[in-house]
Structure 1
Amino acid sequence: MSEEPSLLAADSAGGHDSILLLFICLIGIIVIFTLIGILGSGVSRRTGRRKTPADWLGGIALLSVCATIALYIWGALHVMFMENANMREECAEAGGAAKAAQVDRYEAHYLPLRFTCHLDEGGSYDAAVPGYVNPAMAIAFIMAIATGAVSVVARDQDRSTSPTVTRGR
């Protein structure tokens, strides 16, 4: 009688917490809507004057942060849905049926996002998270940092070069 690990045992050996991941996704959605609200209020507040490069770069930075969070949520949902439903099927799809038969445990990683199938004879391979999620998330994050930093520098330069307005009595 061979003892093959059950899906429940494999999940408990290297599983992840769906409630935590769901909470992270919920917080991410709230942050996205908040940042879009901040961006929208900034656009509506400045309708009377011409937009400076710092304004444009600040908006691009906020949108890049939103894209980073949205991509993280998209990848996290892939990981979360693999916990309960069809882990072995995802491992079979990613590595083939022969490798899937040798899987003894599963493991989720949150940064970078990945769902790893571990083989009983050693070795592992990733499944479930689309291949574009982590690179796109890294690019959006780098773009957010870069445009945010340039926006702050441009805004500081605008303030230092603009003439100060003095009020007469």
Structure 2
Amino acid sequence: MITAADPWQGHDDTVLFTTLLTATPALIALLAYLGSRFTARARLHRTAAGVTRDVCLTAVAAGLAVYLWGLLDLLFLGDQEQAQECERQRPEGAVLVGRRGDFVPLRLVCEVSDGRDYSVVVPGYVNPTLTVLLVLALLGAGASAFLHHQQRTPTQKKG
């Protein structure tokens, strides 16, 4: 039995599978919606607010895909392979004392006796890419809300 005090914890399999099983259909639904935005009917009714909303949702879909890719890297490596990867990348002379898995940011951290740690398994581009896509999604959401508000608010003429 693994306890919270166990220094050799990886990612909780229940959380990992639950995330994969909920994020995958969400990604498929987002891609289906975004694909529908390219129909002739949808193009006739495009607005600036709608385009920025779609850019925002594209960033969300891309971020979800990158996160899922990182989760799949963790899923396909069992405890033994993760331990081997920690050992393979261990600094010279350091002694491994633990391993932990974090979901945000997504990483598998190997801890050594001198207090340092290092990440393995999850590709190094996953978290920086997620950060950029999150910023893009937030900017897109803000711009879309602003443009939608501008579209709904009647302009008053000075006179």
TM-score, length basis structure 2: 0.80
In structure 2, give the amino acid aligned to 1:87.
Answer: Q
CA RMSD of aligned residues (A): 2.3
SS of equivalent residue, structure 1 residue 47: helix
Q: Within the alignment, does 1:134 sit opposite 2:130 as a pair? A: no
Match of 2:141 in 1: 148
C-alpha displacement of 1:64: 0.5
The TM-score, its normalising length taken from structure 1, stands at: 0.75
Name whichever structure is richer in helix by fraction.
1
- TM superposition shift of 1:121: 4.5
Q: Secondary structure at the match of 1:13?
A: coil
Within 2, Cα distance between the matches of 1:86 and 1:98?
21
- Shift of the alpha carbon at 1:74? 1.4
Gaps in structure 1 of 5+ consecutive residues: 1-10, 163-169
Q: Percent identity at matched positions?
A: 28
Residues 71-102 of structure 1: per-residue CA shift (max 9 Å, x gap): 11112222333443412321133335654xx2
Which deviations, in whole Å up to 9, do the C-alpha atoms of 1:30-75 show, x marking residues without a partner? 11111122223344342334x2221211111111001111111112
Deviates more, 1:59-68 or 1:82-91: 82-91
> Deviation of residue 20 (structure 1)?
2.0
Question: Structure 2 CA distance, aligned partners of 1:138 and 1:43?
Answer: 27
* Count of aligned residue pairs for this structure pair: 149
Q: What is the match of residue 81 of structure 2?
A: 86
Q: Are residues 125 and 12 of structure 1, via their aligned partners in 2, closer, same or farther at CA, if it must alter by over 3 Å?
A: closer
> Are residues 1:68 and 2:56 paired?
no
Work out which of the two has the higher radius of gyration on C-alpha atoms and give 1 or 2. Answer: 1
- Alignment correspondent of 2:50: 55
